[in-house]
Amino acid sequence: MVLRYGMNPHQRARIVGGSADHVRVLHGSASMINYLDALNAWQLVADARRATGRAAAASFKHVSPAGAALDGALDDTMCETWGLGTSRPGSLAAAYIRARDADPRSSYGDMIAVSEPVDDELADLLGSVVSDGIIAPGYAPGTVARLGRKKRGRYVVFEIDPAYRPPDTETRTVFGVAIEQDHDRLPITADLLRPVDGPALTGASTADALLGMITARYTQSNTVVLVRDGMTVGVGAGQQSRVDCTQLAGAKARTWWLRRHRSIRDLALPTDMPRQQRLNWQIALAAGTLTANQYDELTELLTRPENPLADRERAAWARQLAGLTLVSDGYLPFRDNIDIAAEHGVGVVVEPAGALHGDTIADACREHRITLARTELRLFHH
């Protein structure tokens, strides 16, 4: 089967060998990256659904999740951002809103995966967001046609057979070398979590740990994932140094939290400004990444003068973020990861066993009153 193109438009691509009968393109013409995003994202939400029994959604960009979440409560910021008013959406729409709200700037133009068939409510919601495609185990009547009108008719709609199970082995060819390995079939369950120190994991923190481990399994390594209340709030992906993963995930989580500050939520931007543009300004202000030119532009856009969020107030608000679970796809090599995690409100750390300096990691967790749980499972993904 010929694809729209490969990694880049100048590369031709096609599906060869094996069988793709379990995946159907119901609308649009898919590229290689569309397939890679869709198939990885589907595995994430399917695993999360099996592990927790809750509807799951993921927002993927370039073969890593910008966000992943289980069904759950929506806070005021989410309701304001996504125009929900006082209504409570169904479980599938709620899961996707929570996934997209984790890092909505990165989710712009995402590949969406949901664990349940797409219903009318989710289709209506997706009509108002910028996305490249979706993969789901089914679609309510009429929803494929509605989704297909997105992107001037170029929106990609995948349907996957949820009963499909892959072969025992998988093969990758790189520069003429074919490498075969076992498919990673080990279920991610609460039995993998072995508390080392600190209070026992609660039901909520166990669910967060499972979601974090499953998210790490389908994220480009090295990876650190921060989870809170059944949704990722910071994903540090693809860094060569693990402490950089921790810092990146922490920065994203802090930005997510600062978006909940009243001065960010009530930023006096024009009422007719598109949602994504509004979000981009809020995120840049929350992250503290505005350049001098951007600050001048923002000042011109505001409909009333605003006092900038003072550093002291920003720091005080950031200190209120708590209850996060950190999951690392590989063991944490040095205690600097734990010190950074503590600064970002982490209360539980989950890592594979085996670090040379594992005792110093445990000591650091004890000092910061962080519960440490170890597994025998490394979750590298490339």
Domains of the chain (ranges; CATH) run 23-165 (3.40.140.20), 170-257+319-375 (3.40.140.20), 262-308 (no CATH)
Of residues 307 and 194, more confidently modeled: 194
Supply the pLDDT for residue 13. 92
pLDDT-derived band at 307, boundaries 50, 70, 90: confident
213 in Cβ contact with 50 (< 8 Å):
no
Q: Percentage of the chain surpassing pLDDT 90? A: 86
Supply the pLDDT for residue 19. 67
Dump pLDDT digits (tens) for 250-270. Answer: 999 999 999 999 999 999 999
Q: Whole-prediction pTM value?
A: 0.95
The answer, yes or no, to whether residue 61 has pLDDT greater than 90, is yes
The answer, yes or no, to whether residue 150 has pLDDT greater than 70, is yes
Q: Give the residue-averaged pLDDT of 280-308.
A: 89
The answer, yes or no, to whether residue 309 has pLDDT greater than 90, is no
Dump pLDDT digits (tens) for 361-382. Answer: 999 999 999 999 999 999 999 9
The verdict on whether 382 is a catalytic residue reads yes
- Give the active site residue among 34, 40, 222, 337: 222
The answer, yes or no, to whether residue 18 has pLDDT greater than 70, is no
The answer, yes or no, to whether residue 62 has pLDDT greater than 70, is yes
The answer, yes or no, to whether residue 21 has pLDDT greater than 80, is yes
Supply the pLDDT for residue 358. 85
| Lowest-confidence segment of 6-20, 117-131, 235-249, 318-332 by average pLDDT | 6-20
Supply the pLDDT for residue 46. 97
Q: Read off the tokens for 334.
A: 């040095």
334 in Cβ contact with 362 (< 8 Å):
no
- Give the active site residue among 10, 293, 307, 382: 382
Work out the end-to-end distance of the chain between its first and last CA atoms, rounded to an integer number of angstroms: 24
3-state secondary structure 63-99: CEEEEEEECCCCCHHHHHHCCCCCCCCCHHHHHHHHH
The answer, yes or no, to whether residue 173 has pLDDT greater than 70, is yes
The answer, yes or no, to whether residue 20 has pLDDT greater than 80, is no
- Give the active site residue among 27, 61, 150, 252: 61
Give me the DSSP letters along 269-288.
--TTS-HHHHHHHHHHHHHT
- φ/ψ (deg, to 5) at 380: -65, 145
The answer, yes or no, to whether residue 351 has pLDDT greater than 80, is yes
The answer, yes or no, to whether residue 74 has pLDDT greater than 70, is yes
The verdict on whether 62 is a catalytic residue reads yes
The answer, yes or no, to whether residue 58 has pLDDT greater than 90, is yes
- Give the active site residue among 62, 151, 357, 368: 62
Work out the mean pLDDT of the chain and round it to a whole number.
Answer: 94
CA distances from 174 to 9, 170, 171, 274 (A): 20, 13, 10, 43
* Cα distance between residue 267 and residue 270, in whole Å: 9
